[in-house]
A = this chain, B = another copy of it.
Amino acid sequence: MTPEPYTADRQSPVRRPASIKDVAAAAGVSPTTVSHVLSGNRPVSEETAARVRGVVNRLGYVPASLARSLQAGSTSVIGLLIPDISNTFFAELAKGAEDAAHDLGYGLILCNTEFDADREDRYLGMIRSRFIDGMVYASGSPPSRRRLEALMGKFPIALADEEVEGLEGALIATADHEAGGRLVGEHLRALGHRRALMLTGPRALMSGTARANGFVRAFQGEVVERVGDFKEASGYRLVAKLLEKGGLDCTAVFAANDLMAFGALTALREAGLSVPEDISVVGFDDIRAASLAHPPLTTVHQPAYDVGRTATAQLLQYVSRGEVPPASRHTLPVELKVRGSTAPADR
């Protein structure tokens, strides 16, 4: 780099953008004044201000946010960590988070991990290196727990829709998973089901445990459990494997989320079983495709948008004051959506 700023003007090499000094020099004032014209932080004579604004426009000057943030000690940007961007449940959650952030003048960065620990690490690095001021954590890859633990307390983090086992003292906003499980249990029991297959998510997640507890308690029947990973493929695989080994021996399936329920649906269909005549299927989340599917999926509606919005608003309340958030919990109500995938167990 030569010390002459405005020399290189060929094609490709990006010209060095104008800095506040360039503007000041061109306007015949000090950088201080330029800064104040732009921020309005102190009075500037109208004449000077007009001249400065002219130069700003002519040079296309835009303050470097990096320098500004470095000096301010914060970036006014937070992150939202989610495991699977193509699950529309998280998309809705993200919308809530985005709206809450924008309301308070913060930017929101969406961080998608694909359930990948390395990727999660990379994104968490953004908060450790203070590229972002805080993080809403809506992911749930189990191996991340220890890392999370080390981070919380040092950096502003809020948990959305998910709790991590053993992690306490956190700021948490979740749906009422236990109630959701209970609603499903009661529904299936009322339909006469007495033996159900439960497809869960990874063990370390409290949301899953809470759902399972609520379900088992209310169902009061036999429950076969299989552990999956929230992906459609795992719902398919678990059911297909049981089918191979001589049948499900159940009249109902309760999947940890709608995606896994879709996988189960496909496996059942391929095995020649009809839903809900031969077997009932229930999901969790109530994503858009649930009502579109055939048959329309009975599922538990989670207020995804509100969960995202609440977690983010809570977090920002502390971030904006430069404080680490205290423990606090917000539990949002859920609702059972009875659709076409469940029916009485009399055959």
A62 part of interface (Cβ distance < 8 Å): yes
- For A264-286 the 0/1 string (1 means CB < 8 A from B) is 00000000000000000000000
List the B side residues contacting A130 at CB < 8 Å: 17, 62, 64-66
Kindly name the residue among A98, A154, A155 whose own CB sees the greatest number of chain B CB atoms within 10 A: A98
Let me know if B102 and A95 touch, CB within 8 A.
Answer: no
A35 to chain B, nearest CB (A): 15
- Is the C-beta of A251 less than 8 angstroms from some C-beta in chain B? no
Contact check, B112 vs A109: say whether CB atoms are below 8 A apart: no
Give chain A's interface secondary structure class.
mixed
- What's the number of copies of this chain in the assembled complex? 2
Within 8 A of B (CB), among A75-119: 75, 77, 85-86, 88, 91-92, 94-95, 98, 102, 107, 109-112, 114, 119
Most buried by B among A64, A66, A128, A292: A66
> What are 25 residue pairs bridging A and B, where the CB atoms are less than 8 Å apart in the complex?
A14-B155, A14-B156, A17-B130, A60-B154, A62-B128, A62-B129, A64-B129, A65-B126, A65-B130, A65-B131, A66-B70, A75-B131, A86-B92, A86-B95, A88-B88, A94-B112, A95-B114, A98-B112, A102-B122, A107-B126, A292-B292, A292-B294, A293-B293, A293-B294, A294-B294
Q: Which residues of A contact B (CB under 8 A)?
A: 11-14, 17, 60, 62-67, 69-70, 75, 77, 85-86, 88, 91-92, 94-95, 98, 102, 107, 109-112, 114, 119, 122-123, 125-126, 128-131, 154-156, 262, 288-289, 292-294, 318, 321-324, 326
